[in-house]
Structures are given as structure tokens and as C-alpha cells.
Homo-oligomer: A and B are copies of this chain.
Amino acid sequence: MAQNKVAGPEIERLIQLLSKLPGLGPRSARRAALHLIKKKDQLLVPLAEAMGIAVEKIGVCSSCGTVDTSDPCAICCDAKRDQSVLVVVEDVADLWALERAAAINARYHVLGGTLSPLDGVGPEDLNIASLIERCQGGGISEVILAINATVEGQTTAHYIMDQLTGLAVNVTRLAHGVPVGGELDYLDEGTLTQALRARTRF
């Protein structure tokens, strides 16, 4: 008996491609495909269209490196944002997270990863040269390194700080401390130590 030939190759291909999405495995991809097929007009047709438009329109912002449908992106073009502050992030997902939190009204610079000599990722593989260019261009007074608090992230942050030395910009980084809503009992020693050191007046 031929296994898996439950339907035409077109459906199998759809399932196979859906299963490559993060968060979907082979089983849930099959469920998603069936859901799409059943809700053809409400979901499959609009999603196919939305993806077609995404293929056509979405590109990388030549200024900050995020993905958007316009170049420069909507954020870089937004005149209401503080033009003197650049928030440096590893990835577009981090930019989206900061924007969702509405944490700051400034512009961004997406590195596209972190330095990782073991994986062969050097400074030339990241958008570091363009960051320095933007800072040299003038008008930037502060660069906030909103880079993950991992070993690679911090190595990258130090490298960028070195590169920016001598330019008239303040380089800052995110505070370490207890997450809002967090319990001390569940925190690691490093975070607790940093939170104590950086304690503020009540």
C-alpha cells in the first residue's frame, strides 16, 4: 500500500512547505493545510494573495536593515521619531519586540546577527560598517546597544563600542535586572548580582 499518497502531489507539497514554518511540525502542517483548503475563500485565497504581495513588495531597508514594503522603511521615514538616537538590535524580531512594547520612539539599526568566530561570522558579515557610516554622517548623539544578553551578543556589543570610540556619540546598553513580574527565587545569580549592583533609590 502506498503510504502518504492521500491526495495529489500539490497538497503534499503544500503540507511539506507549511511544515517548514517555525511552530508547525509535520502533523500540525497537515492540519493547517486541511484548514486552508476547507476555508478556501476566507483564508487560502487571501493568504495566497498576501504572500504574493509580500514576494513582490517586501525588501530590506537600505538604511537600517529591517524588512518592509518601502525602502527606506516606514520607521526610517517617520519624521516624528527622535532622529538623534539609534537603537542597535540583532534581528528584525528584536526590533518588532521593542516596537510592540512601544519602548522608545527612535530609529533602529539591524545587525543581522552576532559575531561568532566559530561559525565564521565576522564583522563584515554584519551591518556594522553601515552603522559606523550612519554615526559618522552626524546627527546621531546616542547609540543604544539593545543586543541580547548572551555571550555572542555581548561580544558583538563590545566590538561595536570599540568601533564607535572617537566618534561624538554616547554608546549605552540596556539595563540588567529583575524582569517586571519576575520572582527572585527563579532568577540566576548573575542577574541578581547585577540587579543589586544597579539598585536605585525607592
Contact = CB atoms under 8 A, between A and B. Distances in A.
Contacts of A105: 1
Given A14-B51, A28-B22, A67-B11, A99 B58 contact: no
Interface stretch (A33-41, A163-171, A190-198): A33-41
Nearest to A14: B50
A173 interface: no
A75 to B, nearest CB: 8
Interface residues of A, number: 59
A44 B68 CA distance: 15
Contacts of A23: 23-24, 28, 31-32
A8 B95 contact: no
A66 to B, nearest CB: 7
Given A10-B53, A10-B57, A53-B10, A32 B21 contact: yes
A99 B1 CA distance: 9
A99 B3 contact: yes
A159 interface: no
Nearest to A51: B48
Given A22-B31, A54-B14, A8 B44 contact: no
Contacts of A100: 3-4, 6
A7 B55 contact: no
Given A21-B35, A96-B30, A99-B5, A10 B58 contact: yes
A40 to B, nearest CB: 7
23 contacts: A3-B100, A5-B99, A6-B100, A7-B74, A8-B57, A8-B58, A8-B70, A8-B74, A10-B50, A14-B51, A14-B54, A17-B46, A22-B31, A22-B32, A22-B35, A23-B28, A30-B96, A34-B93, A34-B96, A36-B54, A37-B92, A48-B52, A48-B55
